[in-house]
Amino acid sequence: MPSSEELINITKAAKMLGVSVKTLQRWDNDGTFKAQRSPTNRRVYKRSEVEARIGVSVTHKGSLPIAVYCRVSSQRQKDNGDLDRQQARVISHCTKHKYEIKYVFAEMGSGMNDKRTRLNRLLKLAIDKQISKVVIEYKDRLTRFNFNLFEMFFKSHGVEVEWVEESLPKTYEDELVEDLISIMSSFSAKIYGRRSAQRRKRDAASRETSNKEDS
């Protein structure tokens, strides 16, 4: 191994790639992204290979970098590694197209929640003109509904939205059901809450009338 080649440890490599150390360990084991071994048998990576994977080595002068956005709805999906695998697929797509990735956002949250922390950071980057493109795996990773509004927002700031796949796999059907149940629960809570408030108001008015009659 040439001494001129800079090696970095797994923690630094994970930070550069925007993934967890456990994800890199799994990628090494399954061959997705192989690590090398130090004399003490620790995982190390060539900096050039890590940079190539995120497109740093193919930066184009004058062009803005891109941002990757990944999302899952539930803790179960995250624990099963769905978020990490989604991230790996999108980064692989970007590497294939020689994109310069600077920002990787991955989070757990409902596609109907527009207050997601990392989503709002992404929107701020677009407003500040820090990126030229957002890459997602499926349209609904960005938002469950009103995708066209989000796309229009990004375009108004000179940012393109690119998705890797057109059709959602069946594995996301459960996620859609969960979101629909969440919508129904939210509406039900509002309806019952309003009725409860109206009932309390009527009861208070009734007590007030009764007190006046007693006096």
pLDDT at 58: 40
Catalytic site residue 73? yes
Gyration radius from the chain CA atoms: 24
pLDDT at 71: 95
pLDDT at 52: 72
Dihedral pair phi/psi, residue 180, rounded to 5°: -65, -40
CA separation, residue 175 to residues 32, 63, 112, 181, 184 (Å): 26, 36, 11, 10, 14
Which one from 3, 4, 73, 210 is the annotated catalytic residue?
73
Selection from 165, 141, 169, 146 nearest residue 73 by Cα: 141
Mean pLDDT by 10 residues, the chain (215 residues): 72 86 90 90 90 56 81 90 91 88 91 92 95 95 92 96 80 63 65 68 66 60
Cα–Cα distance measured from residue 188 to residue 149, given in angstroms and rounded to the nearest whole number: 27
